[in-house]
Structure 1
Amino acid sequence: MRTSRRIASVLTGLTLALGGAAFAAPAAHADVTACINQVEREVKGGEAPDSVRMACYVGLTGDHARCLTGLVDSGVTNGTAVTACRVAAD
């Protein structure tokens, strides 16, 4: 195999591998985003503080209780916190 074809093959493989990682990454991020969006709807257009973002991330990891506590401690109502944490875990 010629060197130029070998390089082209390696680059193609790398592109496919990195492209697959890029497609997989947004799925996890979308759950956190959905959680944050749920809270921001309650704030009516305001941006969620970092404490909300962290609580939503914790919800993504599956720790529902800490997600709820984090959101309620950030001033989110209990009903919205329950919904947001449920969305983060999905």
Structure 2
Amino acid sequence: MSTSTRIASVLTGLTLALGGAALTAPAAHADVTACINQVERELKGGEAPESVRAACYVALTGAHDACVSGLTASSVTNGTAVTACRLAPE
């Protein structure tokens, strides 16, 4: 295999790998959005503060208890916090 063919193969592989990562990123974002939207429904149209967004991002790591604690510290009811945090990692 010639050097130019190897370089082309490596670049193609990198492009496919990076493209695949970019395609999976919106799915993670949608999960965080579902968590935030659940909290915003409780706020009845109000926009979730940054502390809620941060807690929902924590839920993506699987830290359900930390997410619930973060949301309840932001004055979200426990029931809504549990539901919202459960939505994030799905």
TM value normalised by structure 2: 0.79
The unaligned stretches of length 5 or more in structure 2 are 1-8
Q: 1:52 to 1:13 in 2, by over 3 A?
A: same
What's the secondary structure of 2:38's corresponding residue? helix
What's the secondary structure of 1:89's corresponding residue? coil
Q: Which runs of 4+ in 1 moved over 2 A?
A: 9-22
TM value normalised by structure 1: 0.79
Matches within 5 A, 1:24-39: 24-39=24-39
Number of matched pairs: 89
Shift of 1:30: 1.0
Q: Deviations over 1:44-77 (max 9, x none)?
A: 1111000000100111110111100000000101
Q: Greater helix percent: which structure?
A: 1
Alignment RMSD (CA, Å): 2.1
The unaligned stretches of length 5 or more in structure 1 are 1-8
Identity rate, percent = 79
